[in-house]
Structure 1
């Protein structure tokens, strides 16, 4: 068959499955994140394989590795969801309102991406970032990527065309305060996992306290 690969027919469209939408890709990523968290918490990171995570979701190992470069990075959508919620809250922060109020409302209202179908085990996952270098790297990378998003949101709120030094410094301070608050909340000594409503309320209160400390600065 000249001028073309075997089996090609001029004027005939492609056959096979339609391409996935962005929404469906996001759903698959969250499904993988849920499965990874459950396996990491139940049996440990070292004992969990990428194939196990893929089987729990019902996808192939090849599909999983198309979405994530490592098994630890499978939980990154969870961290990204929180960062997106904070950036959105910064943009909606009213001119006459307190930052801690805006972020507390965001932390109380944001839908937990782990809430379905399993109960949230976010706190236990964050505890693992203290002892698992791979998870720690994913957690820190999420905050590294968050800082420019926070700076852009603060610049937008201030009506700036471009991010300036003040926005960058404010974003760095906010990022550090948020990370410290979440880690402080997650690494407390009590082992029992609270119910989702209580956990969200406790985390919001911890974030508020951290922001008040950051706003006062170092005396």
Structure 2
């Protein structure tokens, strides 16, 4: 009994919620360091120090320093998929942003958006970050395809929602990249910047809307 009691002592295991928080904290620290001093100059030790954890903890959550930013890239995928699922037939595709903002008012203006914009600009010159950026969209596409299939009452493996999801996904990525690279972080007014991003994404979705009916 005494041995069993001793076996149960120590630090309690982290909850899934706390693990997600730590991943996000690491992601924020990584992007700040990447933007200020570059990817090559940034180490796992520096990322961990900025968060208050060891480099070993950083590598426990992420296989490489570039992959540390993944939570920032993947934020919002589930919300977008849910809005696609509820997108009403016959309505303009760009109206999905009305649902997105209603479901999550911080979708565009959230605390991560400025960081993501800087990060997207870095993907132009950092192959490791570019790979993580593109992989995130590759993983988002099946979620969008399932949502569109459910919306249309089609089997999950039907080709139509698969192609539609690819078009939708490409439009989102192109819009974010176009905005990030065009502005270059030069828009001083945050509200103006957020409105410009929404307009850019709406325009991109309008371009492909005829193929998503």
- Which of the five TM-score ranges fits, normalised by the shorter chain? 0.7 to 0.9
Deviates more, 1:60-69 or 1:103-112: 103-112
Deviates more, 1:131-140 or 1:173-182: 173-182
Indicate the residue corresponding to 1:131 in structure 2: 125
TM normalised by structure 1 equals 0.85
TM normalised by structure 2 equals 0.87
Q: Are positions 1:98 and 2:92 aligned together?
A: yes
1:199 paired residue among 175, 193, 200 = 193
Unaligned runs of 5+ in 1: 1-7
Per-residue CA deviations over 1:92-114 (Å, capped at 9, x if unaligned) read: 32345322111354268244697
Structure 1: 4+ residue segments shifted above 6 A: none
Deviates more, 1:81-90 or 1:143-152: 81-90
1:65 paired residue among 45, 50, 59 = 59
RMSD (CA atoms): 2.5
**May I ask how many residue pairs the two structures share in their alignment?**
209
Map residues 5-16 of structure 1 onto 2, 5 A cutoff: 9-10=3-4, 14-16=8-10
Could you say which structure has the larger radius of gyration?
Answer: 1
Unaligned runs of 5+ in 2: none
Check the 8 A contact 2:44/2:55 in 1, yes or no. yes
Q: Give secondary structure in 1 for the equivalent of 2:186.
A: coil
Higher percent of residues as helix:
2
Q: Separation in 2 of the partners of 1:182 and 1:110?
A: 16
Per-residue CA deviations over 1:48-99 (Å, capped at 9, x if unaligned) read: 1111011000011111101101101111001110323321221232345322
Q: Are positions 1:181 and 2:175 aligned together?
A: yes
Q: Separation in 2 of the partners of 1:198 and 1:20?
A: 40
Q: Using the TM superposition, give the Cα deviation of residue 15 of structure 1 relative to its aligned residue in structure 2, in angstroms.
A: 1.5
Check the 8 A contact 1:178/1:210 in 2, yes or no. yes
